Structure 1
Amino acid sequence: MLEIRLHCENCDKHLPNDTDNAMICSYECTFCKDCVDTVLKNVCPNCGGGFEKRPTRPKSQLKKNPPRKDNVLKPNIENVFLKENRTIDPRKR
């Protein structure tokens, strides 16, 4: 089951379930589109992977499978994966 995180891990921007602004990596790290584009340059600081738009969980399933309540906040100070991966397509990293 995909974990729906409600805040950007970098800037703490609120990312409700139905937003178009939430991006995730293959490990479900969650960031806002602004941070992915301008700060992270499409390189996850936790795993080095790329990002895709987070899907929206159907409203009818939210009661049974609610979003995660606690925040994961790890502001990016230095992305150790950025230098080596920013020019490599995420599917080839």
Structure 2
Amino acid sequence: MLDLRPNCECCDKDLPPESTEAMICTFECTFCSDCTETVLHGACPNCGGNFTQRPIRPAAALLRNPASTKRVLKPQGCPAQEMAQ
């Protein structure tokens, strides 16, 4: 089951479970759509993989399986990725 992490690892923007701005890689690294496009250019800085929109867990399912409250943040920020040629 996905953790549904509560924030962007780059800018620390809140990404609640119902957010349509949350993007994840295959390892569930979580970033906002703005950082994935403008800073990371579609490549995860942790694993190099691509991103997809994080699914939204229905409210009823959140009662039984709540989202994570553990915030993950890169203290140095995210390094800008080279744009693909």
TM-score (normalizing by structure 1): 0.82
Please point out which of 84, 87, 90 is paired with 2:84: 87
- Matching residue of 1:6: 6
Gaps of 5+ in 1: 89-93
Kindly provide the amino acid, as one letter, of the partner of residue 37 in structure 2.
D
Rounded to whole Å, the distance in 2 between the matches of 1:23 and 1:2 is 12
Rounded to whole Å, the distance in 1 between the matches of 2:46 and 2:65 is 25
**Helix, strand or coil for the counterpart of 1:31?**
strand
Cα displacement string for residues 60-81 of structure 1 (whole angstroms, at most 9, x for unaligned residues): 11121111111000121x35xx
Q: 1:1-93 alignment to 2 at 5 Å?
A: 1-74=1-74, 75-76=77-78, 78=79, 82-83=81-82, 86-87=83-84
Rounded to whole Å, the distance in 2 between the matches of 1:22 and 1:3 is 12
Kindly provide the amino acid, as one letter, of the partner of residue 87 in structure 1.
A
Cα displacement string for residues 25-76 of structure 1 (whole angstroms, at most 9, x for unaligned residues): 0000000000000000000000000000000001111121111111000121
Rounded to whole Å, the distance in 2 between the matches of 1:51 and 1:70 is 20
Q: How many residues align?
A: 83
Q: Which consecutive segments of 4 or more residues in structure 1 shift more than 2 A? A: none
State the 1:87 CA deviation. 2.5
* Identity across the alignment (%): 49
TM-score (normalizing by structure 2): 0.90
Rounded to whole Å, the distance in 2 between the matches of 1:73 and 1:64 is 26
